[in-house]
Amino acid sequence: MGLFKNLLSKKSENKNGSEISVSTGNAKLANWGIRHLGNLYPSEIIELGCGAGRNVPELLKTYPSSRVTAVDQSEISVEKAKEYNKRAIESGRYTARWGDVSKLDEGSEQYDLATAFETISLWPTLKSCFAEVARVLKKGGTFMIVNESDGIEQPGTKLEKLIDGVKQHTAEEIETALMSAGFSSVRTAHHDSKPWITVIAKK
């Protein structure tokens, strides 16, 4: 049950009671989502909710001319992501730092691509966070959301009862919030045999 394990790790607490986000991520899910991006040539990518940084190598391999900036609300996750992607940092292609998606410390129209892997279920409100993502994307930029749960099938729906603050969203809810936040077009792909979804929006 990858989703359950990942979200438990994201919502676990350290000894001081602070939330930490140390999810290692689901590589197969992430790779499946990335394949739906098609022929993009992003130079600047922002990863929202980096977890332990496991998705970065695939992004850098898929887009060899790109640089990735990762933000996460957990300092522990940021340190783990830096450790896991040490070579990418040394090559100048990767940066990880603390960040709050509801108020990103980024300039407007700075990125070509934004990604969110298994993380929007923890965001406070979709519309306002999506509007912030739209702000930092360049005109014509792409925002990709990849979720292991489609918000309908189990085990994702059970997590809402088990973990405070988790809210699973259906594809329709995500699409509506994206359009309300200012994105010009949205498309969703569903996995053939699993409740995985990837939602791709254009600014």
Q: What tens-digit pLDDT sequence spans the chain (203 residues)?
A: 444 444 444 444 333 333 434 344 578 999 999 999 989 999 999 999 988 999 999 999 999 999 999 999 999 999 999 999 999 999 999 999 999 999 999 999 999 999 999 999 989 999 999 999 999 999 999 999 999 989 887 655 555 555 666 788 999 999 999 999 999 999 999 999 999 999 999 99
Determine the pLDDT at residue 163.
62
Sheet (strand 197-202) strand order: 94-98, 67-72, 44-48, 111-117, 137-147, 197-202, 185-190
Q: Residue 49 has what pLDDT?
A: 93
Q: What is the domain range of residue 172?
A: 2-202
**DSSP structural state of residue 165:** T
Q: What is the pLDDT of residue 202?
A: 98
When computed from its CA atoms, the radius of gyration of the chain, rounded to whole angstroms, is 16
Q: What is the pLDDT of residue 27?
A: 85
Segments in the chain forming alpha helices (H): 2-11, 27-34, 56-62, 75-84, 86-90, 126-136, 156-162, 171-180
* CATH number, domain with residue 99: 3.40.50.150
> pTM, whole model, 2 decimals?
0.86
pLDDT score for 131 = 98
Give the pLDDT of residue 156.
52
Q: How far is CA 190 from the centre of its chain?
A: 17
First to last CA, the chain: 34
How many domains are there within the chain? 1
